[in-house]
Structure 1
Amino acid sequence: MTAPATAPRPSQLPPPSQDHYLGLTGANAMATKAVAETETRILKAIKHNAMVCIHGHVGLGKTFAVHTVLRRHAPETTVRLRYNNGANMNEIRTQLWRRLDLPGPPPQSVGPCDQQIHDALEAEPRVLLIDEVQGLGTKALEYFRTLWGDDARRAPIILVGSGNARQKILNNPALHSRILDWYQFSPLTPTEVQAVIPAYQRIWADAQPELILYTDDMAGHGSFRNWARITLLLHDALEDNPGLTLSKDLIRWVLSRIDPTTRHTPQR
């Protein structure tokens, strides 16, 4: 008698539509060098049951890249953790308990709680994705190191953070010594901006390269979040007034919404 098929576990990763800033309409996922480098690190983590760290300034697409890669390679086994700044250990354990789908409330005693978490991680393949690690305290970072283990290596861990994330890990030698690989996100270069932005959203498809570089110099700064904000404002302006055309004057008007000190021609 054939055993009934087990229903796939619902993915804890958000849908792709939530990856783009404010759900930008028509935004496309771009195959950048950073996404490829992120994929290399995550595949290493999965292959070796290792820890890797993806870090860099805010708005450069770290979380987007990590989600994209994990949807390809571990959509049902990823345990996605994201804590408030300064979360205490009870919050750390409780969210992890729930994300692991363990039955009932977590035990109030730390030992039995951690043992059941360890057992769950050893029972089946999981990938722990810990976002915003810059907000975690020393105890929390040490907890995830011991959770990973040494001999057991209970699950690959993907650490993602901005700001002082790398420095926080450097300040924890036991954790730092166990990170297999790192990748630091950087702003898109002008060459990358010219290659990527025309395909990013249809507004930019026929834009002159000079206008794209001007926009990047003024406000884009190689950041996908900045470009999403600019594009969203442009999209609304063109939708509200179909008589407008993409031009430097319109760009300057959009920039004035981001920085009111920008001189611009009023749009009607």
Structure 2
Amino acid sequence: MTTLNSTPSAPHYLSLPDARPVTTQAVRAATHALDNALHEQSMMCLTADPGVGKTFTLYILCEQRPTLPALRLLPRPQARPEDLRHSLHHALNLPGDPPQDAGICDDYLRHALARPPRLLAIDEAHQLSASCIEYLRYLHDDPVPQVTILLLASRPRLRALRSQRALLSRVATWHYMEPLAPDEVLTMLPAFHPLWQNAPSRTLAHLDDMWGHGNLRRWAALTHQLQAHRRRHPGHLPDPGALLRRLQPRLAPTS
């Protein structure tokens, strides 16, 4: 299980040079939902289709709240409760190695989580085992830890979380992030990357209809291809179809 307890600048897919974070309607809606969860110290699930920007949104939310202690964990598939305990121990910067005794380790964690109020964010939460879900239930129900639990899960994998009865009655908010609306694409893309600042609206609309579908990861891949074209052909604007052909999988010729 990987621990991510710092708050670096929000990363872009493919580490695009000159890409800038943009606050979309979906990010604002997720921010509002998280504010309510933080106020209630409840459990929330943030879900979206792959590439819409769940993890990116988490970085943005943490950057907007620099005084909020945030613990961000990325579990490996079927992580065990002891993996979760050890990751929390390191994320909280507790001294020494995590105690081998689960009860003693839990006492240390409960004391460390007592104050200040914290956000515990679990990315790719659909990978959690049932026993880890039960451990999160334990942290949620215990009155000592002052923690808001945020679960991030891909929408196609959401069934794995919803099948956990321990979560169904405890997740106060199941928040779905919408892709960019077609009209929002026209305003967000020029703000996202300078390569799109002078692109005609009809070109952006065509590319979104044929490829982007309001998905930030797909638009990042398209921007990456545009950058590569500009390096090879400075000053020459590519045909949108040429960009799309580089992104579409090619079928092997049949004999």
Larger relative contact order, structure 1 or 2 (CA cutoff 8 Å, min sep 6):
2
Note the aligned Cα RMSD (angstroms).
2.0
Does the CA contact (< 8 Å) of 2:52 and 2:177 recur in 1? yes
Map residues 117-196 of structure 1 onto 2, 5 A cutoff.
117-152=109-144, 154-196=146-188
Write the letter of the residue equivalent to 2:32: T
CA distance in 1, matches of 2:84, 2:145: 19
- Give the paired residue count: 248
Does the CA contact (< 8 Å) of 2:38 and 2:148 recur in 1? yes
Deviation at 1:79, TM superposition (A): 0.9
CA distance in 2, matches of 1:112, 1:22: 42
Structure 2: where are the runs of 5+ without partners? none
Aligned with residue 89 of structure 1, among 68, 71, 81: 81
Counterpart position of 1:12:
5
CA offsets, 1:42-62, max 9 Å, x none?
111221211111101110011
Map residues 1-268 of structure 1 onto 2, 5 A cutoff.
12-16=5-9, 18-75=10-67, 77-152=69-144, 154-246=146-238, 249=239, 251-261=240-250
- Deviating above 6 A after TM superposition, structure 1's stretches of 4 or more consecutive aligned residues are none
Does the CA contact (< 8 Å) of 2:26 and 2:180 recur in 1? no
Alpha-carbon distance change, 213 to 240 in structure 1, aligned in 2, over 3 angstroms: same
TM-score where L is the length of structure 2? 0.90
TM-score where L is the length of structure 1? 0.85
Alpha-carbon distance change, 76 to 29 in structure 1, aligned in 2, over 3 angstroms: same
CA distance in 2, matches of 1:74, 1:147: 24
CA offsets, 1:188-217, max 9 Å, x none?
221221222122211111111111111112
Alpha-carbon distance change, 193 to 239 in structure 1, aligned in 2, over 3 angstroms: same
CA offsets, 1:56-104, max 9 Å, x none?
1110011111211122125551011111122222222211111111111
Deviation at 1:150, TM superposition (A): 4.7
Task: Describe the SS at the equivalent of 1:252.
Answer: helix
CA distance in 2, matches of 1:104, 1:174: 32
Deviation at 1:14, TM superposition (A): 4.2
Does the CA contact (< 8 Å) of 1:45 and 1:52 recur in 2? yes
CA distance in 1, matches of 2:55, 2:67: 15
